[in-house]
Amino acid sequence: MSATVLLAQTLNGLQLAMLLFLLAAGLTLVFGIMDLINLSHGTLYMMGGYFAATVFQATGSFWLAAAAAVPLSFLLGVALEVLLLRYTYRRNHLDQVMVTFGVLVFFEDLVRLIWGNTSQRLAMPDLLQGQVELLPGVVYPIYRLAIIVLGVAVVVALYLLVQRTRLGMLIRAGASNRRMVSALGVNIGLLFTLVFAVGAALAGLAGAVIGPLTSVEPGMSNSVLIPAFVIVVVGGIGSIRGALVAALALGLIDTVGRTLIAAGLHGFLPPAMASGITPALASILLYVMMAAVLVLRPSGLFPAPGR
Amino acid sequence: MTVTDVLGQLGRGVRRMPAVRFAGPIVLAMLGLLPVYAALSGDSYVLSFATRMLIWAIAAVSLNLILGYGGMPSFGHAAFFGIGAYAVGVMSHHGIDSGLIQWSVAIAVSAVVALVIGALSLRSRGFYFIMVTLAFAQLLYYLAQSAYTYGGDDGMTVARHSRFGGWINLADRPQFYYLCFALLLAALFMTERIARSRFGRVLRGAASNDRRMQAIGFPTFRYRLTAFVISGTMAGLCGALFANDILFVSPSMMSWIRSGDLFAMVIIGGVGTLYGPVYGAVAILGLEELLMPWTEYWRLIFAPILIALVLGSPAGINSLLAGRGAADGRH
Amino acid sequence: MAAIEPLLRVERLTKRFGGLVATDGVDLDIMPGEVHALIGPNGAGKTTLIGQVSGELRPDGGRILLDGRDVTHLPPHRRSHLGLARSFQITSVFADFSVLDNVTLAIQAHDGHSFRFWADASRDPRLNGRGETLLQAHHLDARSSALAGALSHGERRQLELAVALASQPKLLLLDEPTAGMGPEESQQMIARLKALRGRFGVLLVEHDMETVFALADRITVLASGRVLATGDPSAIRNDPAVRAAYLGDDDDVAA
């Protein structure tokens, strides 16, 4: 297998990692700080895509669409948290799973009702279309590179937010010890709403950004929700750094790993069978990774101290 | 006054009514007499609908054993369901119609898979356990999707019902119904006995305080694993029943959404109670059935009701019916 | 005089958490029937040591011998069957079970395997008979049908002790038995423990010095994971190193 393919797949892996990181970051914060298992995080991702698609179809501008998706998702997050999810904080995890499951199911039908079953159009902007030559003879889609750049920008922004601002300090403290933070006189309700909404905004951004590559349709969150949870578990609940590391691992395994497996199988299995088994084996690898991490480090790679 | 407050008050109001202590047996009796009603009224649809309800109820009972009594929140239970269904489907595809063989394989494979998944997952607790079981179920789901010979993502039809010679004809709806009903009664009876038994106490003790249980001398892991295998096997049998019910198997039977539905049935009905899973299955499937004719988007009404039930009545339908502290179901 | 085999022997026990050495070559032994107190300032490593003796923590070095038998790598439930029992610092009774069921569960653990699926365990005369007797001995028989979660804090500590003793252990790990108790309840607990003296060995972890000096035959002082001193109460009371270790700690050493 050539180096070109390997490079391309590595970049694909990075791109997938960035996308998943956007999702997982919000999820891990919400779980870490509010102790909330949020199955409806996928909904926020999906709605981000739909917000963007709607704006795009109205204005024809991808940039406007992507820009609009962020505050709209943020607001949706606020609404969800204030109107419903804050009543689940005191409840045990099973009930939270049930309630957020209900939200997920509700929104799936809601988008079907409003937008129908078919996928929505959300096209790449002209600026990011086409390919660029990275190395002699190696081309790669510009849009995917842009996603990687976006991801890195978000990582840096989150780092600055968490390490350098007061809000970030509260977030870090809250991830380790919720009660202490509220004992310090901080308005916990507001903090929680903010954290949730920021997570929602990130998820919405991911949904908007992935639109041109895949499709904006009901059920689009199915393929990313569980990987996002796996990342949270592997990375350590409440840890953004952990989410990043785990997202990179997962992204690379799912792309580079998949390619390597396919190449290996094609060596000695009939092509149809090899193609058939590859996704399953790649998934197996993923879950083996999760299991292995949990065995060696039951609280994930970088558990927030105090867990 | 929040939604939760209103529902809480409603719940208290309902509980003040003379405690419907026999709600469980009444529901069962109604289910038992359903084929008679169907025959008299000529409504055959209600029979096939109720059959589905029975099968799901048995699956919910199986999940309740480990979730309710054992404190093991498995979010991958639909996988065993799917295994049982595919056992029937695959064997039928290869011309093996004997119910005895098909169902034995369904049970055996479910048991082995449950043993493996359980052995690997049960070291984790709480959220991690949910994740691990979910992950394994997804694995099996992907495997089913990639099995092109057996329909892949589209699934495949099952040509014939499982054959049991002269014993029972599963193609005959009333007979099939009573088989499922008998199996539900057996499952409930088993749960009842297990919950009160020494084994059940170890299970419940481990759910309550595993550390203490080990300190007093119980090797809790093997008991929890045994319960997990029993539970998975029961769910596998349900899968075999389901394959016979709709004569079709597909990967969607093993999707995590299905696991979520099962989870909902147990929680809504009353986790850790005897009749809870039955109430849950009846409520959720009944609600679906009620809402579906009205609109294609019935989940828009269903989901808020689900959420309201979870928030308003934390101990499930069972507590609404039986009243606080009733001996019904709680051991 | 023939040498008596110690009931518990801890040899050069070591446990590290990353860079922190929580247990640093600890030697300890407890003779049959002895009440041996383990004291030390906060962070001395008492909990870690107890954790290793009970089997919840794996030592990095050294050995633990129970009645001459090497149990270093045995899990807690196996040690229970070899005669070890423990009570927890934070009361760990089974709140959803009745008081009687709490003790019969502990009795059940030592009554063969529990792969019995048919008979109703709460009506098992063998378990209940022994359970009632045990409750009587601990003055809890009046509350036998109450839910453990409904008991007062003091009653729950009593139950905790009863459950620990249900297996008729040779060695009891008592983790701060008077924690959270008022003076009167503490006195009752001390009296009860005094009455049980001699029947089995006790490794008593305590902060309350009154309890320690009332009950202990010997005391081991732990500081920074190391044994500072071991000896009978008066020797420890007068040991200058011990007094120094406790300076800055507001536990009263002079009892």
Q: Each residue of B93-130: pLDDT tens digit? A: 999 889 899 999 999 999 999 999 999 888 888 888 88
Does residue C254 lie within any of the structural domains?
Answer: no
pLDDT score recorded for residue B2: 57
Strand order in the sheet with C201-205: C84-87, C171-175, C201-205, C35-39, C218-223, C226-231
CA C93, CA C81: separation in Å to the nearest integer? 19
**E-assigned strands of B127-192?**
156-157
How many domains would you assign to chain B?
Answer: 1
Tens of pLDDT, residue by residue over A253-275, are: 888 888 888 888 777 777 777 77
Which band of pLDDT confidence, cut at 50, 70 and 90, is reported for residue B324? very low
Kindly state whether residues C203 and C120 are assigned to the same domain: no
Does residue B298 lie within any of the structural domains?
Answer: yes
Q: List the domain range (segments joined by +) for residue C215.
A: 8-93+168-246
C43 pLDDT more than 70: yes
Least confident of A17-26, A39-48, B116-125, B238-247: B116-125
CA C208, CA C184: separation in Å to the nearest integer? 14
Touching, A vs C (3+ Cβ pairs under 8 A): no
Give the percent of chain A with pLDDT over 70: 96
CA nearest to C36, candidates C46, C44, C22, C51: C46
Which band of pLDDT confidence, cut at 50, 70 and 90, is reported for residue B12? low
User: Do the beta carbons of residue B158 and residue B249 sit within 8 Å?
Assistant: yes
Tens of pLDDT, residue by residue over B153-186, are: 889 999 889 888 888 888 888 899 999 999 999 9
**Distance in Å, alpha carbon of C165 to nearest chain B alpha carbon:** 9
Where is A291: in which H helix or E strand?
Answer: helix A271-296
Tens of pLDDT, residue by residue over B259-295, are: 988 998 998 888 888 999 999 999 999 988 888 888 8
User: DSSP per residue over C32-90, as a string?
Assistant: TT-EEEEE-STTSSHHHHHHHHHTSS--SEEEEEETTEE-TT--HHHHHHTTEEEE-SS
CA A147, CA A11: separation in Å to the nearest integer? 10
- Check which CATH number belongs to the domain holding C77 and give it: 3.40.50.300
Does residue C3 lie within any of the structural domains?
Answer: no
CA A249, CA A109: separation in Å to the nearest integer? 33
Closest Cβ–Cβ partner in C77, C101, C116 for B199: C116
pLDDT score recorded for residue B7: 58
Instruction: Give the alpha-carbon dihedral of C42, C43, C44, C45, to 10 degrees.
Output: 130
Range among B8-17, B228-237, C199-208 rated most confident? B228-237
Does residue B328 lie within any of the structural domains?
Answer: no
Buried (b) or exposed (e) across B173-201, using 16+ Cβ within 10 A? bbebbbbbbebbeebbebbeebbbbbbbb
Which band of pLDDT confidence, cut at 50, 70 and 90, is reported for residue B21? low
Query: For the whole model, what pTM was predicted?
Result: 0.87
> Are C121 and B204 in contact (CB < 8 Å)?
no
pLDDT score recorded for residue B257: 83
B10 pLDDT more than 70: no
**Which residues are CB-contacts of B304 (< 8 A; sequence separation ≥ 6)?**
A102, A106
Domain ranges of chain A: 3-296
Kindly state whether residues C108 and C179 are assigned to the same domain: no
> Are B218 and C114 in contact (CB < 8 Å)?
yes
How many separate helices (H) and strands (E) can be counted in chain A?
12, 2
CA B303, CA C125: separation in Å to the nearest integer? 49
Name which residue leads in pLDDT, A37 or A183: A37
C190 pLDDT more than 50: yes
Does residue B23 lie within any of the structural domains?
Answer: yes
pLDDT score recorded for residue B327: 34
User: Do the beta carbons of residue A190 and residue A86 sit within 8 Å?
Assistant: no
Least confident of A212-221, A228-237, B317-326, C94-103: B317-326
**Distance in Å, alpha carbon of B195 to nearest chain C alpha carbon:** 8
pLDDT score recorded for residue C71: 94
Kindly state whether residues C83 and C172 are assigned to the same domain: yes
**ipTM of the modeled complex:** 0.89
Touching, C vs B (3+ Cβ pairs under 8 A): yes
Give the percent of chain C with pLDDT over 90: 54
> Are C96 and B208 in contact (CB < 8 Å)?
yes
Report yes or no: A298 at the B interface, CB cutoff 8 Å: yes
Report yes or no: A189 at the B interface, CB cutoff 8 Å: no
Most A CBs within 10 Å: which of B300, B309, B313, as the mutation test of the A interface?
B300
CATH no. for A3-296: 1.10.3470
C185 pLDDT more than 90: no
Mean pLDDT, range B88-93, rounded to an integer:
93
Q: List the domain range (segments joined by +) for residue B213.
A: 3-322
Kindly state whether residues C179 and C88 are assigned to the same domain: yes
Closest Cβ–Cβ partner in B120, B127, B145 for A291: B120
> Are A272 and B148 in contact (CB < 8 Å)?
yes
Most C CBs within 10 Å: which of B69, B198, B229, as the mutation test of the C interface?
B198
Kindly state whether residues C103 and C85 are assigned to the same domain: no
pLDDT score recorded for residue B218: 96
B188 pLDDT more than 90: yes
Tens of pLDDT, residue by residue over C60-79, are: 999 999 998 999 999 999 99
> Are A109 and B73 in contact (CB < 8 Å)?
no
- Check which CATH number belongs to the domain holding B229 and give it: 1.10.3470
Does residue B87 lie within any of the structural domains?
Answer: yes
Which band of pLDDT confidence, cut at 50, 70 and 90, is reported for residue C30? very high
> Are C88 and B202 in contact (CB < 8 Å)?
no
**Which residues are CB-contacts of A10 (< 8 A; sequence separation ≥ 6)?**
A252, A255, A256
How many domains would you assign to chain C?
Answer: 2
Does residue C255 lie within any of the structural domains?
Answer: no
pLDDT score recorded for residue C11: 93
User: Do the beta carbons of residue A45 and residue A115 sit within 8 Å?
Assistant: no
A78 pLDDT more than 80: yes
Does residue C230 lie within any of the structural domains?
Answer: yes
Contact partners for chain A, using 3 or more CB pairs closer than 8 A, are: B
